[in-house]
Each structure stands twice: as C-alpha cells, then as structure tokens.
Amino acid sequence: MPAEASVGGKFVKELIKQYLDNGISRRKLMRGLGAAGMTLATAKTFVNSFTPTPAHAAEPGAIHPATGTGGMLYMQQLRAAGVEYVFFNPSTGDAPFYDAAVNMPEIQLIKGVQEGAVVAMADGYARLSGKIGVAHVANVGLPNAMTQLVNSWKDRIPVLLTVAAFGTALSGRDGPQDYDHQETMLAPITKWLWLAENAVGIPDVLRRAMKFATTTPSGPVFLSIPDDFLRATATAEIFDGKLFTVPMRIRPDAKDIEAVARALIEAKNPLLSAGDEITTAQAEPELLELATLLGMPVTMCWGSALNCWSKPFPTTNPLFIGAYQRQMGFPGAVDVHFVVGDQIGERTYNGATSISMRSDPTALARAWPIDMPIVSNIKLGLADLIAAVKSLATAERLKSIAAARSARAQAYHAAQVKMRQTIVKDIGNSSGITMERLGTELEIGLERDTIYVSECDSGRNMDPFMSFGGADKTYISTGPNILGWAQAASFGAKLARPDRPVVSVTGDGGAMFGGPQPLWSQARYKAPITNLVVNNRSYNNERNRIWSLIGGEQYRAGLDMTCYNGSPDVDFTKAAAGYGVEGEIVSEPAKIQEALARAKRANVEGRPYLLDIHVEREGIGAASEWHPPFSIADQRTRKV
C-alpha cells in the first residue's frame, strides 16, 4: 500500500503525484497550481515539463518487455535508467538483486559495512555526479541508514533507498527483525515512499521513485519491496530513463524578471546572497557574470557557514564579502537584497526589499515572507536576468554602476584578506596547530582542483583561510551537519570524479560517529582519498556554543559535563590500519606539509591515506580536560 510523506508543500506534491498517476486531469492540475500561488505562465511551463515528449515515446525500444524475478526486473530498470553504481550492505532478502547483477556488468556493486555509510556514499556520489545515488540496505538496518538520509533530505539530494521487506506471508507477525511501520517512519525525511504491491509492478514503482527523486526540487525517496516479490517471476515493461527524466527547464515570467532587473539597477546599496540551488543547477558562471555586471557584493551561507553544503561563488573574488548574517558591518544599510537559491538567506535584511529566485516553489518564502518571489530554473533565470539588465541600461551606465559598487566591496574584501594574513602571521610561531594555521597549510598543500568534502564543525573556522569556487577547490559539505558523513561521502565523490584529488575532513567526534567503517570501502576499492581527522579530543564548537551562548551551571562551575572526548584519547591511525589504510599522527605545524606530501604520494599510487591531526582546543573552557569521573569497576560489590 502507498505511504505518502507528509512534508511542507504537501498540497503541490500531492497534485503532481495525482497527475502523474493519472488521477487528475491537466486542467485540474493547472487550477490547483494556481490556487497554490503560481502564475499561469509558470504553471504552464511547470506542467509541460512533466509530460514526456512524443519523440521520446516514439523511440524504438524505449519501452520493452522483460521476464525474470522481481530482483532481475528491478536491476534491469536501474540499467535502463542509466544507473552505474549501487551502494549496498547485504541482507538475505535482497539476494535476488545481486543474483541479477552476476550477469549485469553495466552496474558496479559498491559494498559498505554499515548502513549509514552506504547512504552517505550514495549521497556524496549524487552531489558530485548530478545523478541519482542508489543505496540498498537491510530493512532492519533502516534506523542506521536514516541518520545520514537526513543530510540528503535537508540538502535536496537525489538518493534512492531500497530495502527488501519481509515477505507478505510474514510481515506484521512480529518476527525477530520485523517491526511495524517500517515504511512510514521514513516519511519525515523522504520526498516520496512506497511499498511495492506485486512483482509485475516493480519496474514501474522504481521508475516513479527515480522520477520523484531527480525532479526539481530533488530529494531522497524510499522503496520497500517484499522479498517474496523479489523472488517471484513476472513479465513487465522496462522504461528507458528518458521517458521519466523531467528537465524542469522553467523560465521565469518576463515581467517579473524585468522588475527584478530594474530594482537591481536602481538600488542604492544592493546585496546578493548565493545558495546551493546555484550549484545544483550548475549556474556558477551566470552568478559570477551577474555579480560582476552590477558590481554587487556577494555573500554565501549564514553565520558560521552552517545550513549550506556548497560554495557557488569564488571566495577569492573581490566581490565576495563572507558569510551572510542578518547583522553585517558591511555593506551597511542594504536597500535591495537579492537571494539566489538559498532559503536561509531569505531572512529579511534590516527591512530591505527582498527578492528570492528559487527552483523549489515549496521552499520559496516558506521561512520568511518575500517581496518579489521568483520560481525558475536558476541557470535560465539568471541568464534571463542578465539579458534584462543589459536591455534596460546602456553598457556605459552599467559600467559606471558596477565601478562605484565594486570599489567598496573590493576594499572590504582586501581588508578581510589582510586581516587573515595578520592572524596567520601572529600564529606562525605557535608550537601547536590552530585551525587558522591548518587552513593556511591546506591552502598551500592541496591542489587547486581538489574536491574538499567536509563535515568538521570546528574545522569551519579554517575555511576562510582557504580558496573555494571558480578555478579553486570545490567545497562539499552538508547543511544539517549530521556527523559521520564525510569519510563515506568522499568515497562517492571520488567515484563521481575519479581524476580529481579528493580530501575528506572530519573532526574526532565525526570520525567516531561514522568511522572507521568507510575506510574499509576505501581500501577494498582502492579509492585514493586523503582523510583528515581534525582531532582536538573534544566537541569543541559544541562546548563553545553551550558555554558562551547559553551559559548555565557548567559555565559557572567551569566543569565540562559532556564535550571532552579524551580519556581515552583515540588513535585514529591505528583504527585506520585495522581497515588496511595507512596513516600518521601530525602534531607539529612544521610537519603538516611533509605529511600532506606523503598522503598525496599514496593517493597517486592508488591508495587512501589518513592524517590524524592534533589541533588545539579553542574557546571558552578549552584548557580543561576535566570530565565527570565514574568507574563501573568501582561499582562492584562481589569480590573476585
């Protein structure tokens, strides 16, 4: 039976689902979208993008019959959709999937040894490839998988999670690994979910699941298939992936774009905030062109850089002024705030006129009201906006506007660079490794085309000392910052971009959350990844937030009840060695470059490597190693 996710924007999503399932007419869908706030032009473009073209339907072999087990039909449908990799952790019930894979070399199986790692690998692959990440786990292991699926859900990453459910004769009988509501517990963190109802329908429900996952706004989906259906033999239709690939090339209304263009041209002090939908749409060139054309200062993310997973604007560009915050010393009193693909940036900036362009109509203006909301494919919307700006002002006027605005931004950017250089100079002779020093050393030692996969909360303090975006390193993280993601996600990233250097960055807490299980997959499949563990033996930023923002008895007593991770100190190199990955401890600033060189050499030779980097704890209460003393051994009353 179907089990629908209950999430924000449920009305629009339910309309679309009913239309695709032939439950309502095109006319009723149009009326519903109008009631949801879409303009007629936008609704028409939106609906047209859902309908497969006659050319696709007419292609010979686009739909063809196949006979086999349900597992075979599933794998054939994956292959027809262009899936190349399946990330999995095996269970008895899903054996028919892998029986089918024996004679299907087009699909490579990638094994993980824990369900969360499997999902994170699929997630990292999807972020870098732009394709769907497919993950199979045991149904009893769903809670493990869910920990990492939250990252995919919040960041709108297309991941398909499939389990072989208990057969229909056994389900609901409270067996040792059976529990009720296995499917519906995924509802809060999936875009769509389904329990397959027969063997013959497996390719069709899989086709729908993949369509929902990859259609903007993309996101994770869940498919549960009873294992007796996977073993049963049936004849079903297999669909070419082009028949359910929905490009969503939605252009904004021309009048709306003209109004936005005029507002940006006439603004006295505009600000542009950039978000992850730019990265998803591969619209970085258009963003850079627009910012340069109008000389607008650009911010990314919010506060400490949480709530975003990419950096779509070059951080070395003189128009970049740092992370977005509601209260910023520069650029001062903003009168027009243009937000592109970023929900957090939509927060009203001191009463400025707010403009937001989003590809996700359910998220647009969800958190805060927007003066001028625009639904559009980000790449096409920015291209139209650039054309509109050029049509409304002469080249000479635009050059004059850009020069005046950019001069202020460039001066601020240069001051920030100088300040960071001063910080680095001041800490240059320190005997310990600070975050700022580590960021500076990584900027020196990492290649410019490195894919930098980070989940390190404390490590975000070193991000400003590094260069990302444009011709520099590609930054990949997660918005919700669920720990245990980076080492596994970096594997997926390397699989998607095998010719580029990949570095994973996690804290000691994150490494214990998710590792070292992902290192097993790195070693088995010879994934040349440099794994950095930023080890301060503490949840450092967590303690800083608790003590400085909240205060309370811990702060007043100077006693850290929760965040110290020492006693015992974890040697991550020994853990890595147990999984066949070489590594070393780095505790001196002067040794960082040598260690990075050894890691690079191992990567060139096709091997992963791990650096356990001992960094200083920083912030309030950092010097203390106190933790609540307790010994279970001391609780014994029986004499041995």
559-570 confidence digits (pLDDT tens): 888 888 888 999
CA distance 455 to 449: 19
Which of 6-20, 503-517, 578-592, 622-636 is predicted with the least confidence, judged by mean pLDDT? 6-20
For range 524-534, the mean pLDDT: 97
| Residue spans of alpha helices (H) in 197-246 | 202-214, 227-231
Positive or negative torsion for Cα 162, 167, 171, 174: negative
Bigger pLDDT: 457 or 419? Answer: 419
What is the band of 254 on the pLDDT scale with cuts at 50, 70, 90? very high
Decide if pLDDT at 371 tops 70. Answer: yes
Q: What is the topology classification, in CATH, of domain 428-614?
A: Rossmann fold (3.40.50)
Report the 3 state secondary structure along 271-301. EEEECHHHHHCCCHHHHHHHHHHHCCCEEEC
For the chain, which residues make up each domain, given as ranges?
52-244, 254-415, 428-614
Class of residue 74 by CB neighbours under 10 A (exposed 0-12, middle 13-18, buried 19+): buried
CA distance 561 to 95: 46
- The H-or-E segment that residue 337 falls in is strand 336-340
Q: Which CATH superfamily is 254-415 part of?
A: TPP-binding domain (3.40.50.1220)
Answer yes or no: same fold for 254-415 and 428-614: yes
Quote the pLDDT of residue 9: 57
Bigger pLDDT: 567 or 595? Answer: 595
Decide if pLDDT at 55 tops 60. Answer: no
Decide if pLDDT at 44 tops 90. Answer: no
* pLDDT 10s digits, 468-521: 999 999 999 999 889 999 999 999 999 999 999 999 999 998 999 887 899 999
Please give the share of the chain, as a percent, with pLDDT higher than 90.
Answer: 68
How high does pLDDT run on average in the chain?
Answer: 89
Decide if pLDDT at 326 tops 50. Answer: yes
Collapsed DSSP state (helix, strand, coil) of residue 429: coil
- Which residue in 62, 61, 40 sits closest to 52, CA to CA? 62
Quote the pLDDT of residue 304: 45
Bigger pLDDT: 315 or 481? Answer: 315
Are 87 and 108 within 8 A, CB to CB? no
Quote the pLDDT of residue 347: 75
Decide if pLDDT at 54 tops 60. Answer: no
Decide if pLDDT at 78 tops 50. Answer: yes
For range 41-56, the mean pLDDT: 55
Quote the pLDDT of residue 33: 76
Quote the pLDDT of residue 301: 78
- Which residue in 514, 581, 312, 536 sits closest to 438, CA to CA? 536
Decide if pLDDT at 5 tops 70. Answer: no
CA distance 537 to 263: 50
Exposure string for 589-620, b = 16+ CB within 10 A, e = fewer: beebeebbebbbebbeeebbbbbbbbbbbbbe
* pLDDT 10s digits, 167-206: 887 777 677 777 777 888 999 999 999 999 999 999 999 9
Quote the pLDDT of residue 3: 41
In this prediction the pTM is 0.88
Decide if pLDDT at 47 tops 60. Answer: yes
Quote the pLDDT of residue 307: 72
Which of 181-185, 580-584, 600-604 is predicted with the least confidence, judged by mean pLDDT? 181-185
Decide if pLDDT at 260 tops 70. Answer: yes
* pLDDT 10s digits, 382-433: 999 999 999 999 999 999 999 999 999 999 999 999 998 888 777 766 789 9
Q: What is the topology classification, in CATH, of domain 52-244?
A: Rossmann fold (3.40.50)
Are 359 and 341 within 8 A, CB to CB? yes
Give the contacts of 577 (CB within 8 A, at least 6 positions apart). 583
Which of 224-233, 315-324, 534-543 is predicted with the least confidence, judged by mean pLDDT? 534-543
For range 578-596, the mean pLDDT: 97
Q: How many CA atoms lie within 13 A of 297 on its CB side?
A: 30
Decide if pLDDT at 29 tops 90. Answer: no
Give the contacts of 74 (CB within 8 A, at least 6 positions apart). 96, 97, 100, 162, 202, 203, 206, 225, 230
Are 339 and 357 within 8 A, CB to CB? yes
Quote the pLDDT of residue 232: 97
Quote the pLDDT of residue 39: 63
Quote the pLDDT of residue 429: 67
